[in-house]
Amino acid sequence: MRLVLIVAALLTACGEPPAAPPPHDSAADPEYAKTVEQLAALTRQADALFKNGKPDDASALIEQGEPLESQVLSVLHPTLAATQAASDLDDLYGRMLLSNRHFVWAQTLFQKNLARWKYWQPQTDDTARRFKLAESQIAECERGIMKGPAK
C-alpha cells in the first residue's frame, strides 16, 4: 500500500504544470486608445512646427512622444492606429534628421518603419504606401551617405 502511494505521488509530480493564464493585452484598455490619440496629436503638432520652420519646438514634442510610442508598442498586439502613430513619429524624426544630413540616424528610423509595414497583416493600401515610403527614404539616406559630408 505504501509503495502504491509513493508511485502515485511520483506520477502526480511528473505531470504537466498548470496552464498559465493568457497574458493581458492592454491594447483593449480604454487608456490605451487615449495614449494612442495623444501620441498622434503630438506628432501632428510636431509635424506642423517642423513644416513652419521651428525644428527645435518640433524636437521637444518628439521627445515627449517617445515614451508614449514605447508604451503603445509594448503591448502583446499593438493596434493599427498605435502602429501608425508610432510610424508617423519615427517618420517625422527621420525626416528632421535627414534635413540635417544625419543620414545614418535617419536611415535607422526609416528601417524601423520598413520592418513595421513589411509584414503587417492585413495589408492595406495605407500599409503598402507606408512601406514604399520607407523604402524610398532609405534609398535617399543611402545616396546621402555615398556622397559623404557636405563641403
What is the domain extent for residue 82? 30-147
Asked, for residue 5, whether it belongs to a domain, the answer is: no
Number of structural domains the chain divides into? 1
Asked, for residue 10, whether it belongs to a domain, the answer is: no
- The reply to whether omega before 78 is within 30° of 0 (cis) is no
* DSSP label at residue 123: -
Per-residue pLDDT of 74-112, as tens digits, reads: 998 999 999 999 999 999 999 999 999 999 999 999 999
Strands (E), 2-150: none
> pTM to 2 decimals?
0.81
Q: What is the mean pLDDT of residues 3-23?
A: 56
Residue showing cell 509595414: 117
Predicted pLDDT at 115: 97
Asked, for residue 40, whether it belongs to a domain, the answer is: yes
